[in-house]
Amino acid sequence: MSKIENNNFAKNLLIFDFDETITDQDSEYEVAKNTLTYEQYQKIVEQDKIGDSETFNHFFKHLKERGLSLEDYNKHLEKLELSPKMKELFEYLKKNKSKYEILIISGDIEYVIKHVLKYHGYLDLFDDFICNTCEIQNENSERLIYVQMIQFPHDCNLCIPTQCKGLELKKFLEKKQKKYEKIIFVCDGGNDFCPAKKIFQKNDIIFPRVGHGLCKKLFENDSKKELICEIYPWNSGDEIITKLKEC
């Protein structure tokens, strides 16, 4: 086992996606469909399909037009459900935090991620966040929140235009300059394939959520042969706990 400074054993780097991994729904879509008109909601969906980097800002502008305050938005965020047994997984990690450095890499915005985690009592569990930053707008602005989307320039054809998770993980590892025992990624989407393919080694683990984009890519499209890391599909957090106990 590798060692780091002060003669401590190296930790595992545990990475989470957010939407449809920590939360059981896509936070943007879930709040949009419960706050916007049908026509406004469909416009947001269509913008996301074409990769419009202003999708978040259109969404927050629509919320302001409908008279919703930031407090109203927060209440809808607090209705988001965590994925099955995710609380149990987080409780396990709280008890075993000395083994892990825990990171979120997500295309969602920092405000949403931190508000949801704080509401459920798990914000302090996470050490770092790689996501879209935002600015809370004043009452006279046209939006509740403004999201600066152009933060992740890249030429990766595996990822969404606004974020390459492989590149962001590479930069994170270079900055930390640490040796991790394992890199472990709990995720769901097709773009989560990128870091697993480009960075993960034989000793590392990826947990793709069953029925979601990455699991379909790996097993229905036979892309798993492109990975050298271990692959463990998951339906609920207790399956992840079982495997982590073996690490």
DSSP 3-state assignment of 199?
coil
Q: 205 with 187: CB under 8 angstroms? A: no
Give the pLDDT score at 8: 55
Can you give the pTM of this predicted structure? 0.92
pLDDT for res 148: 81
pLDDT tens over the chain, length 247 residues: 333 444 457 899 999 999 999 999 999 999 999 999 999 999 999 988 877 778 999 999 999 999 999 999 999 999 999 999 999 999 999 999 999 999 999 989 999 999 999 999 999 999 999 998 999 999 899 999 999 865 566 778 877 777 889 999 999 999 998 889 999 999 998 889 999 999 999 999 999 999 999 999 999 878 889 999 999 999 999 999 999 999 8
CA Rg, the chain, in Å?
Answer: 18
* pLDDT at residue 200 in the model: 96
Domain range for 54 is: 5-244
pLDDT (0 to 100) of residue 7: 40
Task: Say how far apart CA 56 and CA 32 lie, in whole Å.
Answer: 10
pLDDT at 161: 74
Q: CATH no. for residue 149?
A: 3.40.50.1000
Helix (H, G, I), strand (E, B) or coil at 147: strand
Q: Residue 1: which of 182, 177, 241 has the closest Cα?
A: 182
pLDDT of residue 3: 35
Q: Answer whether 147's CB lies under 8 Å from 132's CB.
A: yes
pLDDT of residue 233: 97
Number of independent structural domains in the chain: 1
Residue 16: which H helix or E strand, with range?
strand 12-16
